[in-house]
Amino acid sequence: MSNKKKFLRTVTVIMLFVLCLVPLQNAEAQESVETIETVEQQDDIVLQQQIAQVTAEQATRQLVIIGDSRTVGMKSAVGKNANVWSAKVGMGLSWMKKTGVPAVESAINANTDVVILMGVNDVRSLSYTGKYTEYINEKAAAWTALGANVYYVSVNPMAFETKAYPGITNDLIESWNTRMQQGLSENVKYIDTYSTMLGNVQSKDGIHYNKTTYQTIYTLINQGIINDKVTEKMAELC
């Protein structure tokens, strides 16, 4: 057989092989796509089940909420509920340590989610973030040992800068939030409401909000807690 004939025969064999292989690859690719879609559907079902379960569980849990004047406003906006509140106008770290936490600490147990909304009154002194995280981390270690969950909520934005509260800007608040998030231990989950609320807060004095804004922040906090717990449950299933 001439070299030319051998070459043509080889080319023919290769072409036949490719023609046979392509449908096989297409079939395998289609099967892979269908498998991925099935897995995604199953994952979505599991996710929805976990969300429903955690949401139902949250309805039976107690929130202990510690904060300043913004928290006082939130308590008024959301109305009477089973939460335990410890909040006072104009307060910061010193009050939290001496009064705010001690007032509610006996209520913290395995059925408790502790929510801390503190910092706006100390935000001018960024060095305070170290003192905040040191104290919160210390208390969180004790509370999580009891079975409680601990959350720190970002300091929320100013609606506008004002001479009534000189030196408090959103740039400063963002720096505060970044430092807090970086300094908190694994026992404290960080809930970022600032990013959602920036540009979406209503206020007469720049720092305190109207009823609707407080209600929105309260909803975001609860969603943040649910999302955190769903994420943990999904990780356990993987």
Domains present along the chain, CATH in parentheses: 61-237 (3.40.50.1110)
Are residues 71 and 85 in contact, defined by beta-carbon separation less than 8 angstroms?
yes
Q: For 70-80, how does the pLDDT look when each residue is reduced to its tens digit (9 = 90+)?
A: 999 999 999 99
- Name 150's bridge partners: 114, 188
**Which DSSP helix (H) or strand (E) runs through 77?**
helix 69-78
Give the Cα separation of 34 and 57 in Å (integer).
35
Give the Cα separation of 152 and 136 in Å (integer).
9
Collapsed DSSP state (helix, strand, coil) of residue 195:
helix
- Lowest-confidence range among 20-24, 25-29, 156-160? 20-24
Give the Cα separation of 215 and 200 in Å (integer).
12
According to DSSP, the β-strands at 188-191 and 62-67 are unpaired
Give the Cα separation of 178 and 152 in Å (integer).
12
Query: Given pLDDT bands bounded at 50, 70 and 90, which one contains residue 25?
Result: low
CA distance readout (Å), 62 to 26, 49, 90, 107, 186: 55, 22, 25, 9, 21
What value does the mean pLDDT take over residues 170-184? 98
What value does the mean pLDDT take over residues 66-93? 97
**Which DSSP helix (H) or strand (E) runs through 212?**
helix 211-237
Beta-carbon count within 10 A of 133 CB: 20
Give the chain's end-to-end CA distance (angstroms, integer): 61
Burial class (CB in 10 A: 0-12, 13-18, 19+), 183: middle
Q: For 114-135, how does the pLDDT look when each residue is reduced to its tens digit (9 = 90+)?
A: 999 999 999 999 999 999 999 9
Average pLDDT, the chain: 87
pLDDT at 88: 98
